[in-house]
Amino acid sequence: MLRLLVPLLLLRLFWRSRGNGGYRAQIWHRLGLYGPHRAALARERVWVHAVSVGETLAIIPLIERLLAERPEARVLITSTTPTGAEQVRQKLGDRVDWDWVPFDTPGAVKRFFAHWHPTLGVLVETEIWPNLVTHAAARGVPMVLLNARLSKRSARGYARVAGLTRPTLAYLSAVAAQGRADARRLRALGVNPDVLAVTGNLKFAIDTDALQQANERERSALAPGLAGRPVWLAASTHPGEEEWVLKAFSALKKERADAFLMLAPRHPDRVASVLALPELHQYQVVLHSAFKAAHTASDNTAQRAAGQVLCDKDDVLIVDTLGHLGALTGCADLVFVGGSLVPHGGHNPLEAAAWRLPILTGGHVFNFSGIYRDLINTGAAMEVDGSTLPAVLLSCLGEHADAAQMKAMGARAGEYQSAQGEVLERQWAVLTAHLP
């Protein structure tokens, strides 16, 4: 069936490449066409597939440990999106091999395995591809699913194609589920209970020391313009959310003229469309990339030479760079996590929790429902919608904000995140049990 869809998938890649050349570069390798070059054989080649940014950031602590403790192993990471690929480049550089994941067709998968010769495959979160898993089993390559999550919505979708899903899941050598509900759904779809363990969410495994060091670098450029100001971070926003965020920020500005907004679209290639929003034109806007290199943008966007700092006349920082959001989060007083005012499923709130910050979220959080339920129930987060966001924002950062309540919310968020400390060890044990 997927072979019939390949022309449509190629057309979609060509279409997306018009706005992002990264998609154009992947077409041949997604077909499993590599030219005459063949990757060198390795006694251990651990192949890790992480779709995009979130999955890549989650698995990097395990990869770092693998590189340190098994230096003889070669690690191959595959991605589906250019943003995921960029994270691999930034975080791991030439210490790993990297490629695009092939389309899940028999021919592309066969050529991928013949080219890279993996001895162990690791899938991250919800990647269940029948041809990849079946071909690995035929070659005697164990496949492990780490940090596995399966929402009710996804489970219903997989259940509709149970004839493909059930035998695919039965081939998995090990599954490390994020939570009991995920494990229950995976077991119902065909995962062997003997290979299934509940290990927690790798996204809890945050290197706070590294975050602190990165935050200190960010503060050197931002602190002069942020001193004494209420700072709101709207993180990982999607189309349809920035308008609500800017409406709420406008209400805050009426009470606190010194309020500052850090706005981080989930996909940096959307920055031009965000800058074009009429609601933004009343503010002095700077781009995060302007602190890294000279930058020219729209009329209301300040130009900054490398090394310059934020000033107290700036109103909004647009985060148009990858890999800096975790460090920038530590500069905020309050965080709204996007993908939640629109039905995208939400994004990971745990970096905000690690910084001991109060969290706002919309109601569309089906990808992280357990985490948000816990955070809301413990008083670490509040749910909003577009219409209530301005009032809630004023209660948190406005002229009559309750600073003690904000501090208590942040403390509860930090306690929740730190209580999950053994996740990395548990998933490391699952991984190493299947290394050659």
pLDDT tens-digit profile of 320-356?
A: 998 899 999 999 999 999 999 999 999 999 999 999 9
> Does position 114 have pLDDT exceeding 50, yes or no?
yes
Closest to 426 measured CA to CA, from 200, 189, 182, 224: 200
pLDDT on residue 214: 85
Closest to 328 measured CA to CA, from 351, 349, 350, 305: 351
Single-letter amino acid code for the residue at 395: S
> Domains (ranges, CATH) in the chain?
20-205+421-432 (3.40.50.11720), 208-418 (3.40.50.2000)
The mean predicted confidence, pLDDT, of the chain is 89
- Residues 164 and 167: their CA atoms lie apart, in Å, by 6
Give 292's pLDDT tier (boundaries 50, 70, 90): low
Q: Tell me the pairing of strands 260-265 and 97-100.
A: unpaired
DSSP structure class, residue 331:
T
Note if the pTM is more than 0.95.
Answer: no
Q: Which helix (H) or strand (E) element contains residue 346?
A: none
| Residue 404 neighbours by CB under 8 Å, 6+ apart | none
**Residues designated catalytic:** 55
